[in-house]
Structure 1
Amino acid sequence: MKATTVLLLILSLAISGCGRKDNYKDIDTDKIKPWKPKAEALSRYGNHSPYRVHGKVYQVNNNPAGYTETGKASWYGKKFHGRQTSNQEVYDMYKLTAAHKTLPLPSYVEVTNLKNNKKVVVRVNDRGPFIGDRIIDLSYAAAKALDYINDGIADVHIRVVNSPKDLVKNPIKQGLTYLQLGAYSDKNAAYNLAKKTSELLGIETFVTILSTHNGALHRVRIGPIDSENKVNSLLNKIMASGIPDAKVITE
């Protein structure tokens, strides 16, 4: 995911669900051609995992079949119309599309407005929204179909109805997630860091050895870690302890 795309998504948070519908083309959502969900190819862009926004780490869901979620939906429109989405398509606010933080791109999702029970199927081709408790960011057309343009925010239930064929034909097992504190050719440096981390944080830290053409590489790691919340919590503790180079590794 390009940094510029992430920046555009972050900027959209300031206006998503807060903009007026003035000067928007009046559309009849009943006449918008609905999607016929199908298993498309996994997008080349936008599915990098894990990725980080605002210091928080996100893991793309490689097993989305049956995925459901309930929470708040926002919408984004004119400011981003014609710009690239996270999977390098062109955002069209008059199509039924959406942004989600962890579903694979593209995915088809049924969204239900819990206030009026209106439903719409959207094609997820973007990342976001990265704010508060919002779980999905819909296009202007999709938000209009669910009748919450003026409200800006809606309580919704989402359900995946189709995901990329790459995942359907060859399900990708989610890798194990670790925090890697550093990688050294000097084994003493690696073991000293592992000992320091264990003593400072009371967290079991180990060293794995990877053979390379330049010799052995000693990787200092914590894990595996089974939740995003734990990853973020540990990262904060590690960085506060003066270990700046920690990064998330999934394999």
Structure 2
Amino acid sequence: MKLSFLPFLMILLLLHGCASKTAPPPPAEPVPAAIPATQRPYKIKGKTYYPLPSSEGYVEKGVASWYGGKFHGRKTSNGEVYDMHEETAAHKTLPMNTMVLVENLENGRNMAVRVNDRGPFVKGRIIDLSLSAARKLGMVNQGTAKVRVTALGEARTFREGNREVARFLPHQDFQQGDFYVQIGSFTNRNNALKLQEKIKRQGNNAVISQFGRGDRRFYRVQVQAGSTLSVARNMEKEYNNNGYPDAFVIAR
């Protein structure tokens, strides 16, 4: 009897085909969203600035300036066209569209503005205001003023149907919270520890908060100031008048 190898070969080819099939590749992992350009570190005049990931709890005291005609109509850092008649501001590190309360400590005026630009890049200044904002704060003529800047929340644009609607997304009520008064910031941890012990001997609770910026590390001494902004402001004034002129309130 003559044997036929054809069926046997067909079975071998079939088995080889089954074995050579590979499992389907796993689904691709989602690509993380790119960091917005305005949130990336940037360098101006040899100095690197690191935008904050969030404005929540941000409070700063320092000198404000304003900018007007020379920049009117030019693009801001976030791509908008600068309008000096709008209530906006430039800040070196706050996220774009942060709404901040600016208080003029020289005349008591205050107002909210939206951050849409980077700056000012002048030593000792913390915020650059539009002409309109500077007028309402009463600081146009002198050019600068000592201010307190408090982050209130974020302004976002949402699409409703065929139109875009701007909405304000506030942080937690900034009148209530866990407040501290920062009285010193050191690059040497031992100096921060000495000040912390001094404050504790005076009967107040002080903590050290570490903060890194680039390759530098800071040790900030902060005194517990209660749960209301008004009480914290009073403690701030006490420290301002007793050897800590640069003390300021923060929310944690």
TM-score under structure 1 length normalisation: 0.49
The structure richer in strand per residue is: 2
The structure with the largest alpha-carbon Rg is 2
Query: Normalising by the residue count of structure 2, what TM-score does the alignment of the two structures yield?
Result: 0.49
